[in-house]
Amino acid sequence: MNNQHRLGMDLDGLLGGELFSIGSPLLTPAPGNTGITGLPVAVSDPAGLTAADYRLEVDAGNNYLLTNLDDGTVTNLGAVPAGPGSVPVVIDGLTIDLAPGAAVGDRFLLQPTRGMASSISLTVTDPRKLAAASPVAVSSGVGNTGSAELAGLQVIDSSDAAFTTTSGALTPPLLIQFTGAGSFDLFDNSNPAAPVLLEGGNVYAAGAELFPTAGGLDYGYRLQLTGTPVAGDSFQVDYNLAGTGDNQNLLAMVEQQNQGLLSAGSNSYQESYQQLVGSIGARTSSGEINLEAVGFMLEQSQSRQLAVAGVNLDEEAAKLLEFQQAYQAAAQTISAADTLFQSLLEVI
């Protein structure tokens, strides 16, 4: 989304910047580090990221070791560089700049994706800054008599020198001059009064890409014409400075909704979100089932335990009665014996 936004042009005629800002990986140094307390880590390939956390440490051999805390794999990233300057290493979608000066025993906790989602924020808040337009405009010459017309125009790299040399202009603006139905010359149209030839004798085929040309000219955009031109027909390629109502780049951004850009090209944003909800739902569901099963087991065990060790009041009452009666019976025996002794004593 950010990439597409950068290919567009906003209402002020400037190239689009970042639409969303994304937080950087979280790197926490251990309190006892003696060498360095941090080093630059950036996400270079979002598709390669994993959900794991890592431990980065310098071992006794003065090598940077990266331990994946999820599966325990240890990767030796290389020796601590002598410096000056750091050595970038790419691993799991991350670029880690191995900094010089690290001491043996320095440790860091690297959490590339923790807090990533909550740190995404919208950077474009001014509607004027939304790069809705395409920065390139193509117009056909008023003298054209052939049937050639613009079929397609896509900006693929707005960091090309054609866009960056002068802000708000193409360097160079181009003039496509047909020399026949199947060939055209390419001119630098910086001075429309005297265009300068860049490359002559290019081959034209209806619907084919004009760039990069046979001579290797490439200005960061793709252009297709269709129809049959005649010699003398011309097309001008300029910066789309007046295109305040243009929405080509916005259309391209909206189109991403339907494209499979995630999971190696098989899922759209929405499908990925659905998958996420589905898999969380499934895990929750299986968790609930487990909870229920464990709950039953607990109930059963408690039941068994209570059946053996628990107190039944009726049982106790019955026993109480039993003992009471036994006591009464015993008392009765004593009383009978007493009567017997009394009788005997009376007789004497």
Partner 1 sequence: MRISTQQFFQLNMNSLQEHAERLSNTQLQLTRGEKLLAPADDPGVATRILGLEQRIASLQQYDRNLTQLESNLLTEETAVTQVHAVLDDARERLIDINNGVHSLADYQSFADDLTQMRDQLFSLANGKNASGEFMFAGTATGSQPFLRDASGAYIYQGNQQIREVPVAVNRTLAQGDTGYQLFVDIFNGNQGVSASVNPANSGTGVVGQVGPSQPGSYNGDHLRVRFTAPDSYDLINVTTATTVATAQPYTSGDSISFSGINITLEGQPATGDEFDFVASQRQTPFSMLDDLVNTLTATSSAPNDLAKLTNAVNRGLENIDAALEQSIGVRTRVGNRLQTLDTVRDANQAFDISYRTTLSELQDLDFTAAAARLADQQSALEIAQAAFVRVQGLSLFNFL
Region of 55-63, 64-72, 201-209, 248-256 interacting with partner 1 (CB under 8 A): 248-256
d(CA 75, CA 72): 10
Q: Is 340 in the site for partner 1 (CB under 8 A)?
A: no
Please report how close the Cβ of residue 142 comes to partner 1 at its closest, in angstroms. Answer: 5
Q: Is 329 in the site for partner 1 (CB under 8 A)?
A: no
Q: Is 297 in the site for partner 1 (CB under 8 A)?
A: no
**Among residues 280, 293, 297, 336, which is the contact residue for partner 1, using CB under 8 A?**
280
Strand duo 94-98 + 87-91: pairing: antiparallel
d(CA 197, CA 200): 7
Residue indicated by tokens 């900094």: 99
Nearest to partner 1 of 41, 137 (CB atom): 137
3-state secondary structure of 138: strand
Region of 30-38, 70-78, 109-117, 274-282 interacting with partner 1 (CB under 8 A): 274-282
Please report how close the Cβ of residue 235 comes to partner 1 at its closest, in angstroms. Answer: 10
The neighbouring-strand residues paired with 198 are none
With contact defined as beta carbons under 8 Å apart, do 147 and 141 qualify? Answer: no
H/E segment holding residue 226: strand 221-226
Q: Is 263 in the site for partner 1 (CB under 8 A)?
A: no
Please report how close the Cβ of residue 61 comes to partner 1 at its closest, in angstroms. Answer: 48
**Among residues 270, 301, 325, 339, which is the contact residue for partner 1, using CB under 8 A?**
270
**Among residues 67, 158, 240, 249, which is the contact residue for partner 1, using CB under 8 A?**
240
The DSSP result for 16-38, as a single string, is: P--SEE-PPPEEEE-TT-SS-S-
* Distance, CA of 228 to chain centre: 46
d(CA 17, CA 19): 6
**Residues within the interface to partner 1 (CB under 8 A):** 133-134, 137-140, 142-143, 145, 150, 240, 242-248, 251, 254, 257-258, 270-271, 273-275, 277-282, 284-285, 287-288, 299, 302-303, 306-314, 317-318, 321
